[in-house]
């Protein structure tokens, strides 16, 4: 098993990162408020702070992360019936069309470029045809002066302190136009958008295009029909 890069940081992650992320969580929640009973998956769920919010809203929560240490913190924070898994988000074990909400918050930029598209394709696969994919990540700009450039310096500093590989992935993510490129690659529709931090961070509510919804519905009809035929005397 690969070395866990968050083994030491996980114990201090919430104290270190949460003050800045708290505002983003509130904005994301307001952009697409959940309903009780929804099934919510977070890809790269970390210490589970997002999932805790959705659990409190009456949702059934699921999380996947590569870091056992981060998930250990999440298990301490979340109720015992939470569905948390150590795993590779580019090959998730969940069923297709399973979740009402799939969240990716400040996680895609951490990945190597060749991994991002497969991960994003998996997020699309597991979301319900009428569900939403909620995204928060760094944005290439334009960057406002002076607030945006101050924020960009602070962000770059923290990304660099997370390690050289992490920083390279962050830079390649911005060079590839961030979330916009991934959204286009899966033909998703942007329903809501908000750019904050002087142009440095983007939040999106996205949904499947109509033809994907129709295809999913047709496939479901075929499955039902086949099931009925197998059970016909």
Residue 69 Cα distances to 16, 20, 63, angstroms: 16, 21, 14
Q: Are 179 and 139 in contact (CB under 8 A)?
A: yes
Structural domains of the chain, ranges and CATH numbers in brackets:
9-230 (3.40.50.150)
For the chain, list residues with pLDDT below 50: 1, 220-233
**Residue among 191, 87, 55 nearest 133 (CA):** 191
| pLDDT in the model for residue 129 | 95
pLDDT digits 0-9 by tens, 42-60: 999 999 999 999 999 999 9
| pLDDT in the model for residue 19 | 79
| pLDDT in the model for residue 210 | 78
Query: How much of the chain is helix, strand and coil, in % rounded to 5?
Result: 50, 20, 30
Give the Cα separation of 9 and 159 in Å (integer): 14
| pLDDT in the model for residue 213 | 57
**Residue among 61, 66, 53 nearest 22 (CA):** 53
């Amino acid at each position: 098993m690969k070395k866990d890069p968050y083994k030491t940081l996980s114990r201090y992650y919430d104290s270190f990162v949460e003050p800045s992320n708290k505002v983003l969580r509130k904005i994301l929640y307001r952009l697409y408020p959940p309903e009780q009973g929804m099934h919510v998956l977070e890809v790269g769920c970390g210490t589970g702070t997002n999932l805790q919010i959705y659990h409190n809203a009456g949702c059934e929560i699921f999380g996947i992360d590569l870091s056992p240490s981060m998930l250990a913190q999440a298990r301490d924070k979340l109720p015992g019936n939470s569905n948390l898994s150590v795993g590779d988000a580019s090959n998730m074990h969940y069923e297709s069309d399973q979740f009402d909400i799939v969240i990716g918050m400040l996680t895609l930029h951490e990945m190597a470029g060749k991994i991002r598209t497969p991960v994003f394709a998996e997020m699309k696969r597991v979301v319900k045809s009428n569900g939403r994919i909620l995204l928060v990540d760094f944005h290439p700009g334009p960057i406002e002066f002076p607030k945006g450039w101050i924020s960009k310096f602070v962000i770059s500093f923290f990304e660099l302190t997370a390690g050289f590989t992490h920083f390279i992935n962050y830079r390649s993510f911005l060079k590839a136009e961030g979330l916009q490129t991934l959204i286009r690659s899966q033909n998703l529709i942007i329903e809501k958008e908000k750019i904050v931090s002087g142009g440095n961070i983007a939040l999106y509510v996205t949904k499947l295009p109509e033809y994907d919804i129709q295809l999913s519905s047709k496939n479901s009809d075929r499955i039902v029909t086949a099931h009925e035929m197998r059970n016909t005397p």
